[in-house]
Amino acid sequence: MKFQKTLSAILLSSTILIAGCLGGEEPHLFNGEAPHSGKAASFTLIDQHGEEWSLSQVEGNVTIVSFIFTRCPDICITSSLSIKFVLGELTDEERGAVELVSVTVDPWYDTTEQMASFAENRTTGWPHVTSANAGDTNQTFPELEEVWGNYNVSLETYDSGDGEYLIQHSLPIYMLDRNHNKRVVWLGSDWDPFMFQQDLVYLIHEDE
């Protein structure tokens, strides 16, 4: 009997130690994909109102960074409307903790006027940014190329055959935490808004 009590005590102590080693709550498992870790590279571009907009100015808020072009017939519109829907599902307090920015992948066409029209018709008017030199088909845009590279955006332009050009690009949507570390990325447009919202709400309340 004494041996059994001693053994029980050892087993109980081992269980407590194991629980202590494992810790309390399990970490949140994001529904989206894991991005390359590290702090997001900041950038300064021109928003749809013709004013400078910098990622660094919204640090302290959870920030969504997406990539679009205004001539896109489908996936850019779908993803933008899905983000708009998610924002509408947040409480006022949660919405106040979230910043968004949509970056163009078509500066040859996407002037501030084009970005303003897209923002007004498709979203709730969050910043839609482009280059100060946008609209020139003979121009290069190193400031945007740097952003695309930092956020792993693949982009290809090709001739449509009627004198115009088309764009094929990847569609990452990044969620940055309040310190602007890349925490999760959603790829493509065929994603579940409610699962997207779960990841976003977790980041909003993470440090509370």
The tens-digit pLDDT sequence of the chain (208 residues) is: 443 444 343 334 444 344 444 444 567 899 999 998 789 999 999 999 999 999 999 999 999 999 999 988 788 888 898 999 999 999 999 999 999 999 999 999 999 999 999 999 887 789 999 999 999 988 899 999 999 999 999 888 877 777 678 788 888 999 999 999 999 999 877 789 999 999 999 999 998 7
- Separation of alpha carbons 177 and 199, rounded Å: 11
Q: How many helices (H) and strands (E) does the chain have?
A: 6, 9
CATH number of the structural domain 30-205? 3.40.30.10
Give residue 127's region: left, alpha or beta (phi > 0; psi -120 to 50). Answer: beta
H-type alpha helices, 36-185? 75-89, 92-96, 112-122, 142-150
Dihedral of alpha carbons 63, 82, 157, 32, sign: positive
> What is the value of pTM for the model shown?
0.84
CA 163 to chain centre: 34
